[in-house]
Copies of this chain bind each other. A is one copy, B any other.
Amino acid sequence: MTAPRALRATKQRAAVSDLLDRLADFRSAQEIHEELRRQGEGIGLTTVYRTLQTLADGGEVDVLRSAGGEAVYRRCESSAHHHHVVCRRCGAAEEIDAPMVESWAQEVAEKHGFSEISHTVEIFGVCRACT
């Protein structure tokens, strides 16, 4: 029996979580940190990174690598497995569910003798607002 692992309620964690609720786009840790400082929140960059990591580990936020290679985070509507169409300019995203692609990935991998299968499927483009 593993103990419940408290995880304390701090104003820093609340600030990050609240901001994620307000944002619709994928944002980097540094952007989130800047935005919080702009709002007058006292929070360190380290804590932002740590909090996002924790939220990601708990499946509360989605993480993906932007085209530039940096990690960007977003609180999605769906808590189930899904993918995204992401704007390369502003980070705006649409959640997409594609059972057909899921089964395709699984089948292809098994056919080649692979196990412990996972996959990355992301579509990038420029959203209507950014055009």
Task: Tell me the count of chain A residues lying within 8 A, CB to CB, of chain B.
Answer: 32
Contact B96 A108 (CB under 8 A): yes
Contact of A123 among B65, B119, B124, B125 (CB under 8 A): B119
Q: A69 contacts the other chain (Cβ, under 8 Å)?
A: yes
Contact A88 B104 (CB under 8 A): no
- A7 to chain B minimum Cβ distance, whole angstroms, is 26
Chain A interface residues (CB < 8 Å from chain B): 65, 69, 85, 87-88, 94, 96, 98, 100-101, 104-105, 108-109, 112-128, 131
Contact A109 B121 (CB under 8 A): no
A121: chain B residues within 8 A (beta carbon) = 119-121
